[in-house]
A and B are shown apart, each in its own frame.
Chain A
Amino acid sequence: MNEIVRVSGIRHVFPDGTNVGIKGIDFSAEQGEKIAILGHNGSGKSTLLNTILGIITPLEGEISVFGVNPSREYSKIWHKIGVVFQNVDEQIIGPTVWDDIAFSMRNYGYKEDQINDAVENILMEIGIYHLKDKIPHYLSGGEKKKIALAGALVMKPQLLLLDEPLDGLDPQSKTYILNLLINKNQEFKMTIIFTTHDYSTAHYIADTIYTLEGGKINIKR
């Protein structure tokens, strides 16, 4: 299998002096793998995801995503990545739910009929078709999470990064989204990396579980 992500021994210092180090074994993800990163609040889960995305440039350590350093050559890889951030308000851009989900496809030059088909399908799959003409600002946190996920999945990314994707969802939606992610993973051999502090969620979906504790990364299964 192809290795998509490898991270080893990274350390990042935030402007306020907070030092986040992730030492121990290497973190790696192969094509089609579903990986959970488990850890308490402040353990460095989001820092690890942002490093993989190239938003954070670590002071130390090695990082490779699709064979390149993401903080230097992000333009080569970002079109292969879908992401859902913890605070989804920051990533919802379109004036309506439909426009937001179509945003990336329009930027990457897809034709309008392709966009319409893809957006309609993903809205149906996620069960938010009834929200298509709504203004995202007025929707609930859980609904916004689903929109952000739809915006990421519509591009059929090779790598899907999810930062606490199930926070704010009701139990029924949680199960539905988890099953949808499993289906998408099987359908497109999509690599999924997600952070969570819920062991049962990690256990339900992940092939590999990494734990982050006290600046050390370990593999659980």
Chain B
Amino acid sequence: MEIAFFDNLAVNGKSFLHNASTLSKFIFTAIIINCVIISRGINELIFIAVLQSVLIIAIRLPIKRIFMAAFNPMFFSLVFAVTKYPPFGYDSLLVLLKTFSAVLSVLILISATPFTELFSLLGHFLPSIITDALFVTYRSIFILIQQLDNHLTIMKIRGGFNGGFINSIKNFSSLLGLVIIRSIDLSERMYHILKIRGYKGKIYSGKSFLVFNKQDIVSYILAVGTIMAVILL
């Protein structure tokens, strides 16, 4: 998953959801995720997934890339669904659909909200130690993904994946080890950099999350509609 890709969507998007307040988008996402959690049938979950797909198209997000990104975590829920409810049946499908819709909700949120606005909002509710950890992690992931990508390319060029399966696994393990060590060092450095740049445990986005406009109404209508549908279906 390319984080910069979502950053770009969030920053350059011009839809009603992009223009809605951060708080409304956050509430909307929380309501949808709660609807996903309380849903007990396939119909409700399919309805939510369809609604999310329509929303993705309406706010002009690239649906194919968003779906691709949503399928990554579904791999892990597939493992869970198959082992918990063997053989693959109704309950397994429920688990998969729930994961899919929950992930889609978060992807829609991060595609429509610049991360500084999200962290700025979270900073009002969470202790600063948690926002610090989340923020440093988020920034580090950017750099680490790029590094992992560069290391992988160099390893391929230098024949690191030749010489059989065992050798490839060995080289890949050392690469992961290197990235983990680097991530510890990086998070420490990034924390210093944030402090030097005046960070005091709170992100200021330059935009108040309490300023509402007419664009917010659409997200609330969608949220209420989803709750009604989940109850009625």
Contact = CB atoms under 8 A, between A and B. Distances in A.
Contact of B12 (A79, A81, A107, A133): A133
B52 interface: no
Contact of A90 (B114, B143, B200, B206): B143
Interface in B178-233: 186, 189-190, 192-200, 204-206
A133 B11 CA distance: 8
Interface string A53-82: 101000000000000000000100011010
A106 B204 contact: yes
Contacts of A112: 206
A99 B116 contact: yes
A91 B186 CA distance: 11
B4 interface: yes
Interface centre among B190, B192, B200 (most CB of A within 10 A): B192
Interface of B: 4, 7-8, 10-12, 114-116, 139, 142-143, 146, 186, 189-190, 192-200, 204-206
A17 to B, nearest CB: 15
A93 interface: yes
Contact of A95 (B11, B193, B195): B11
A95 B116 contact: yes
> Does more than half of chain B's interface fall in helix, strand or loop, or is it mixed?
helix
- The secondary structure that dominates the A interface is helix
A79 B198 contact: yes
Interface residues of A, number: 29
A99 B11 CA distance: 11
A201 interface: no
A138 B193 contact: no
A102 B203 CA distance: 12
A93 B67 CA distance: 27
A85 B206 contact: no
A102 B192 CA distance: 18
Contacts of B139: 93
A216 interface: no
A107 B142 CA distance: 22
Nearest to B207: A112
A91 B197 contact: yes
A115 interface: yes
